[in-house]
Amino acid sequence: MAFLDINHLEKSFGAVHVVKDFNLAIDKGEFVSFLGPSGCGKTTVLRMVAGFETPSSGSIRINGQDVTNLRPNQRNIGMVFQAYALFPNLTVAQNIGFGLRVAGKPRAEIDDRVADMLKLIGLPGLDERYPFQLSGGQQQRVALARALAAKPRVLLLDEPLSALDAKIRVNLREEIRLIQRELGITTIFVTHDQEEALSMSDRVVVMHQGIADQVGTPFEIYNRPATRFVAQFVGTLNLIGASVIDAKAGKIKVGDVPVALNRALPITADGKVSLALRPETVSLGRHEGRNVVLSGRIAEVHFLGSVIRVRVQVGGEFVSLDTFNRPDAPPPEVGSTVQISVSERDLLTLAA
Ligand code: ATP
């Protein structure tokens, strides 16, 4: 049985249905991200798990216990928010020990725990500082320590990195994951940043208009998107129109080029399908094993450093591809005629 089990969760605010039949089973120690655009319902699900919001229907169980109707302080859950939300008039040590003090723990136990937490977050020696004397990244570490001090069963993180600078975000991302692994704490992390979700998570839930479109490992979400929304929201994607010649046998035509996909295709009213492909699966020129070859003209070249992103016009469509930067070779030139190649295995046909 899953450690955290969310069943048929629904939430409406008045007439607005913001969470629809949300189901998720999270294992003990797992790190799961909710990824989706603003307003898709991520925070609302998180707040229902925390107990700050009451579900319209459905249930939430932690370690077999039905917590759906328990108050937040009865659930033993730790939470970190986007805004640092530290008590400004309390020192770092007092902030971290706050929950333990409220719970009436003895002084010595609180002091020990605060010292352990300061070590865990890499800030020993800062215990007497006040929040205004800390950087944003340090404040979020203290918020994390405060959430973890009472040894919660579940850790909920609501966009905890979004107010921080890019570099600190990346460092803290790694630190959070290390701490989470060390403690083995079951964690839900809400973000609208796909890189954060893909790089940190055991599994990602991609949410769209209140629905979990897909639940999978970062690898599955990126390489086998279940819906067009997932494919477009996560990573860069080319969408190319194709005509279906034989849906059952998987035969299509991209422009004039016949392509055998060797898989059954959805039958569409207009005889067209959309093919999706990632820029890194397309090569400039012919390449062994990349058996679908198309001709086009380079429309744009973007030098990004380690890779060069090239946009090629193929008939009426544009295909973006990534090619590695090679300091000894001239970069591709806008206007030149090229061939591009891709393996038929990397052409995804998308539902919805
Ligand atoms: P963001 O990334 O912007 O925080 P989100 O995916 O976390 O977005 P939610 O905060 O869960 O989205 O909001 C989902 C929808 O529910 C939004 O349309 C929001 O306006 C609405 N909503 C959230 N809380 C309430 C409330 N208390 N009353 C009415 N509508 C609400």
- Tokens (6 digits) for 308: 């060069």
Q: Say how far apart CA 147 and CA 133 lie, in whole Å.
A: 20
User: Residues 94, 96, 97, CA angle at the centre, nearest 5°?
Assistant: 65
- Tokens (6 digits) for 146: 């405060």
Cβ–ligand 1 distance for 314 under 6 Å, the answer no
Which atom of ligand 1 lies closest to the CA of 44? 11
Least confident range from 54-63, 236-245, 261-270: namely 261-270
- What's the pLDDT at 84? 66
Which atom of ligand 1 lies closest to the CA of 34? 6
Examine the pLDDT at 228 and tell me if it is beyond 60. yes
Least confident range from 3-17, 95-109, 162-176, 194-208: namely 162-176
Cβ–ligand 1 distance for 38 under 6 Å, the answer yes
**pLDDT tens digit string along 109-121?**
999 999 999 988 8
Contact by Cβ (8 Å): 185, 152: yes
**pLDDT tens digit string along 160-185?**
888 888 888 888 899 899 999 999 99
- What's the pLDDT at 352? 44
Cβ–ligand 1 distance for 15 under 6 Å, the answer no
Q: Say how far apart CA 267 and CA 297 lie, in whole Å.
A: 31
**For residue 169, which amino acid is it?**
R
Tally the C-alpha atoms within 13 A of residue 34's C-alpha that lie toward its C-beta.
32
Examine the pLDDT at 87 and tell me if it is beyond 70. yes
**pLDDT tens digit string along 93-102?**
999 999 899 8
Beta strands in 278-331 (DSSP E): 283-284, 292-303, 307-314, 317-324
Give residue 235's region: left, alpha or beta (phi > 0; psi -120 to 50): left
User: Which domains does the chain show, CATH number per domain?
Assistant: 4-232 (3.40.50.300), 236-349 (2.40.50.100)
- What ipTM, to 2 d.p.? 0.92
Q: Would the pTM of this model clear 0.90, i.e. be above it?
A: no
Mean local confidence (pLDDT), 18-34: 96
CA 35 / ligand 1 centre spacing (Å): 14
Q: Contacts from 161-170 at CB under 8 Å and sequence distance 24+?
A: 161/191, 161/193, 161/196, 162/82, 162/191, 162/192, 162/193, 163/82, 163/83, 163/84, 163/136, 164/136, 164/137, 164/140, 165/136, 165/137, 168/135, 168/136, 168/137, 169/196
Q: Say how far apart CA 76 and CA 71 lie, in whole Å.
A: 10
**pLDDT tens digit string along 34-54?**
999 999 999 999 999 999 999
CA 38 / ligand 1 centre spacing (Å): 8
Strands 337-342, 283-284: pairing is: antiparallel
- What's the pLDDT at 194? 92
- What's the pLDDT at 351? 55
Contact by Cβ (8 Å): 245, 329: no
* CA neighbor of 89 nearest in space, from 149, 141, 129, 40: 129
Cβ–ligand 1 distance for 87 under 6 Å, the answer no
Q: Say how far apart CA 21 and CA 10 lie, in whole Å.
A: 6
CA 47 / ligand 1 centre spacing (Å): 10
Name the band, by pLDDT with cuts 50, 70 and 90, for residue 222.
very high
Cβ–ligand 1 distance for 18 under 6 Å, the answer yes
Alpha helices in the chain (DSSP H): 42-50, 92-102, 107-120, 136-149, 166-183, 194-200, 218-223, 228-233
Examine the pLDDT at 156 and tell me if it is beyond 80. yes
Examine the pLDDT at 267 and tell me if it is beyond 80. no
Examine the pLDDT at 235 and tell me if it is beyond 90. no
- Tokens (6 digits) for 334: 């806008």
